[in-house]
Every structure is written in C-alpha cells, then in structure tokens.
Amino acid sequence: MSLSIGILGLPNVGKSTLFQALTKKKVDISNYPFCTIEPNIGVVEVPDKRLEELAKISKPKKVIPAVIKFVDVAGLVKGAYKGEGLGNQFLAHLRECDALLHVVRCFQSENIAHVDGEVNPERDIEVIENELIFKDLETIEKRLKKIEKDLKQQKKEIQEEFQLLNSLKEKLHQRHPAYLFLADLGSKEKQIIENLFLLTIKPQICLLNCKEPEVSENLKKKLEEKKKDWIQLDLREELDKSELTSKEREELGLGELRLDQLIKKCYKVLNLITFFTIVGIEEARAWPIENGSAILEGAEMIHSDFKEKFVRAEVINWQKLVEVGSWKKAQELGVLKTVGKDYILEDGDVIQIKI
C-alpha cells in the first residue's frame, strides 16, 4: 500500500525545513518565495518499536518498516487556483496524495519574510483553505459542463450526478470543504465524488510551526471549530536535532525527535493500522492497511496470488509472540489463532498465510 502526504502552505512557512528534517535530504530552504519549483519527494520510514521487538526474536536478514512518501510543493499564494505564483501547477501535484499536511507559520522572525508582511495564522489558514475550495469548484464546473449535454438523454445516473455535483458546488461556495459533504452520502454517491480527486476531500493535518507558547488560544479554538487535526512543532529545532545521532542528542540534553509524533498522526488521519509478517530468518516486515480490512486484503498486499489461493491464516498479537519467543514456540503452546478469509485484521497482528 503506497501512502503519500502532500506538504503545502504559504511561502516561507517551513515546508522545506520540515521535508529536510523528515527525509534527511538537502533541499533549498532559502528565504524567498517559490524557491521550490518542482516538488521535493522523499520516502520516510514509519517508526515502530513493535517491529524492532519482533526483529529481536526472529533475527532476520532484512527488517522492512512501513513507509510514507512526502511530497513538498512550492508555497501557495492567494489566487493559486487561477495560476498565481504557478499555483495551478503546484496544486496539481497534490491531487494524488492521500492526505495533506498544511504547514502554518506561527513564529515571529525579522529575518524571514512573510508573503503578506505580517504573521497571522488564522488568516493564512483561510487563504490556503479557500485556494483548495476554489480549485475544487473549478474541477466540478468542468465536470458539470461535460455532462450537461448528456442531460437531454434523460439518463437517470447522469441526472443524479448533475444534482449531486450542484449540491456540492453550493456547499463549497459556502466555504464548506468536500469531506464534510461526503460524510452524509451513500457509497454510490461517495464514489462519484471520489472519482473527481478533489483536494478538500482529503484528510488534513495543520502543523503549527513555532514554539509551544506561540500557539494562541484563539487559534486553538478556531482549529477545534473547524474539526481539524493539528500538531505543534518547532521545525528549525527539529531539523537541528535530526542532524544529530540519538547519543549526541542525549549528551546535549535535547530529547528525542518529535517528528515521530507527526508520522503517527499521519497514520491516524488516514485511518491506518499495521500488521506484521515474519518470513523465517529472511525478513520481518510492517504492512500499513486501512482499519477494518479483512485478512484477505492483507494477503493480497503480501503477494497478489495469496488472495486467490488463500486457505486459512495463523494470527497472533505481536506482544504475545515476543513473550513466547518464537513462532515455533507459539505453535507448541497452542496460542496461534487459525482464521478464515473474513477475519478482520487488528493493529499489531502478526500473520502467516496458508495457501
């Protein structure tokens, strides 16, 4: 399962600093707008202590963690949906991302220019939200124009889609993002909307770039009203810490990286859990999958043939497996659970597929 997070925000808010801290890739973080033209793309391992513990008991040749792809696009400005500041091009890079990470500048600095002359997080959030909404309205208008000529044929599905899109258009005009509209729809209607790859349908996290005291109570209240997931990080500090080893951070009393919390939050907004596989002494691996998925879907992720040839599976919680010490010991003790294709995977399951 390929996971991708799009990093967006106004210019000079810390997007490239975040990307560099996450991926350890050197990118241009100069103090001027649009220093990122083509998107920076990097793959980040998902930290998981459970996988480390499982690797200790199986001692595999390879340990393969789950990964997330981060896509860092250039700063957006007001009018981006119309192409201001190359905005149309930048927004297009976000369409195929699974979720959006909106970096919001809350820190004050005379040395780093703000595109609007002053730091105002509440206003900046509105600017980016509006650009995403305007882009979605443009997408819907194009689709409506395309199906309008087919209305004369009196096809029921076309009429239903036309009405559905007009209802969504009205909500967007009222500044309501598409994900709120989607919540009340049936599966067929949801599919119609999802096929448009709208930007405001994607899960979103606001990353407040500053020290903790710089997050105002008013901003917290606004984010709660909008039902937004958010996290506060000092990205410059995180970048500095990311360039040191764990031992160096400990010696300097800097503490651990908080970027791990961000990666876990990305997992949460995407409604993901992790299951594990251990292939003898060859590999231990973490697999991300949507919460509520059946084991048959997990089997297909491991190998495309496994779904068709599935007979049964053996399952054990990772902690129980670590306690008993090995898969063989778990078999001897009778603590492995035999399940069929309808079994719903749980977070932390270690599975072995029988075909």
Which of 91-95, 157-161, 190-194, 283-287 has the least mean pLDDT?
Answer: 91-95
pLDDT band of 1, cuts 50, 70, 90:
low
Query: Where do the domains of the chain lie?
Result: 4-266, 292-354
Distance of alpha carbon 229 from alpha carbon 232, whole angstroms: 11
Where would I find the beta strands (DSSP E) of 193-292?
A: 204-209, 229-233, 272-279, 283-290
Q: How many CB atoms lie within 10 A of CB 228?
A: 15
Asked if 40 and 72 touch (Cβ cutoff 8 Å), the reply is yes
Q: What is the pLDDT of residue 28?
A: 44
What tokens appear for 252 in the block?
Answer: 């300097």
What does the angle CA 87 – CA 93 – CA 99 come to, to the nearest 5 degrees?
A: 110
Asked if 8 and 94 touch (Cβ cutoff 8 Å), the reply is yes
pLDDT band of 148, cuts 50, 70, 90:
confident
pLDDT, the chain, mean: 88
Does residue 36 surpass a pLDDT of 80?
no
Q: What is the pLDDT of residue 332?
A: 94
pLDDT band of 30, cuts 50, 70, 90:
very low
Distance of alpha carbon 94 from alpha carbon 83, whole angstroms: 15
Candidates 3.40.50.720, 3.40.50.300, 1.10.10.10, 3.40.50.970; CATH matching 4-266 = 3.40.50.300
Q: What is the pLDDT of residue 35?
A: 43
First to last CA, the chain: 21
Q: What is the pLDDT of residue 51?
A: 96
189 Cα distance to chain centroid: 24
Does residue 325 surpass a pLDDT of 70?
yes
At the top level of CATH, which class does the domain 292-354 belong to? alpha beta
pLDDT in tens, 211-230: 999 999 999 999 998 888 99
**Between 348 and 264, whose confidence is greater?**
348
What tokens appear for 34 in the block?
Answer: 């649009």
